[in-house]
Structure 1
Amino acid sequence: MEQSMLGTKVITQIGIIVKDIEKVGASYAKFFGIQPPAWFWTDTREVAQTEYNGGPSEARSKLAFIDCGQLQVELIEPDEQASTWREFLDTHGEGVHHIAFVIEGMKEKLEILNGSGMPLIQKGEYTGGRYAYVDTFSELKVLIELLENDK
C-alpha cells in the first residue's frame, strides 16, 4: 500500500463557507445544544501575509470554530476581496469548502501535491502557524487545507 501524500489520513476540520456567520453559528449551537460560537476576523495582509493565486491579497474573513470531538467545524464568512473563500461563495454558494489536515513540512507537502497536479491556491499565516489551500477539487471533489503549527 502506498503512503499518504500528506503523511496522515486524519481529517481535523471541515470548513464551511457561509453568508451569515452569526445565523449559521446559532443554527449549529441549537443543533449541538451549545452556546453560539464566537467569531473573529482573520488578520490583515500585513500580519497574515495572505497570497491568493500567487499574488498578495487583502482578503479577510470572519471565522468561528465548533469543536466536535476530534473533528472541528470551521465557519467562514468571506469579505468582498478576491480569495478562495469569496470565489467559492460566488461560484457555489454556501457549503463545504475544504477538509483540513494538520501536517509537518508544509513546503515539502506542497511540492508533492503540486507535482501530482494539485496546485496551491491560497496561503497565509496565523498566530502559531500557517495554512495553505490546495486545489484538489478535480480529484477529490473538495479542496484540502494544510495546517502546520509551530513547535
Structure 2
Amino acid sequence: MEKNVLGTNVIAQIGILVHDIEKTSQAYADFFGVENPGWSITAAVESAQTQYRGERTEARAKLAFFKMGSLQLELIEPDEHPSTWREYLDEHGEGPHHIAFRIEGMKDKVAALEGGGMPLLQKGEYTGGRYAYIDTMETLKVIVELLESDKK
C-alpha cells in the first residue's frame, strides 16, 4: 500500500463507546471542568444511508462531542441494531473505538485502503458530510474513521 494514503497524519477525533452517554458525558464534563455538550442522535437510515459490512442497517447512536483543543472527543452510545459500534461494545466493552482523520476523496481513500487489506466496516452520511470506518485492527490495532466534509 502507498505511504500516507490518507493525505494527512493529523488526528481529528477519538471515539469512545459507552453504555450511558448522559452519565459518561457528565463525568467527562466534571473531570475537565467544562460544560456538558449534551448529546444528539444520528439520523435514521433513510437520511444517513448507513451500511454495516455491506448491508443496510437501521443502526443509530447517541453522540456527544467535546472540543479538546485541536482534537474532538466523541462519546458514542449505540442502539441495538447491527453496527461497528454495537459489535465492538458487545465484544470489548466500553472504551476507545476509533481515531478519525479529516480527508478528501472518500471513495478513492476507501478503495486504496481496501486494496491494502483494510476493509470498510461501516459508512454513512451526516449533515455536511460522510464517514467511513475502516478495519485497521490487524495493522494499526485500532479502527480508523475517515471524515469527509461537503465542499462549500
**TM bin (shorter chain):** over 0.9
Alignment TM-score, normalising by the size of structure 1: 0.98
**1:125-140 equivalent positions in 2, closer than 5 A:** 125-140=125-140
Alignment correspondent of 1:123: 123
Q: Distance in 2 between matches of 1:15 and 1:109?
A: 20
Give CA-to-partner distance per residue, 1:98-148, whole Å, 9 cap, x none. 000000000000011001100000000000000000000111010000000
Cα distance in 1, alignment partners of residues 140 and 3 from structure 2: 17
What CA deviation, in whole Å up to 9, does each residue of 1:67-91 have, x standing for no partner?
0010000000000000000001100
Deviation per residue, 1:2-37 (Å, 9 max, x gap): 741100000000000000001110111011101112
Equivalence for 2:24:
24
Q: Which residue of 1 aligns with 2:81?
A: 81
Letter in 2 for 1:85: W
Q: CA deviation at 1:38?
A: 1.0
User: Which residue in the other structure is 1:52 paired with?
Assistant: 52
Q: Does residue 11 of structure 1 match 2:11?
A: yes
TM-score normalised by L of structure 2: 0.97
Aligned length, in residue pairs: 150
**Residue identity in the other structure for 1:117:** G
The runs of at least 4 consecutive aligned structure 1 residues that moved more than 2 Å come to none
Question: How large is the RMSD of aligned CA atoms in angstroms?
Answer: 0.8
* Structure 1 unaligned residues grouped into runs of 5+: none
- How far apart, CA to CA, are the structure 1 residues paired with 2:53 and 2:90? 16
Pairing 1:104–2:104 present: yes
Partners in 1 of 2:59 and 2:10 — Cα distance? Answer: 28
Counterpart code for 1:86: R
Secondary structure of the residue aligned to 1:4 is: coil
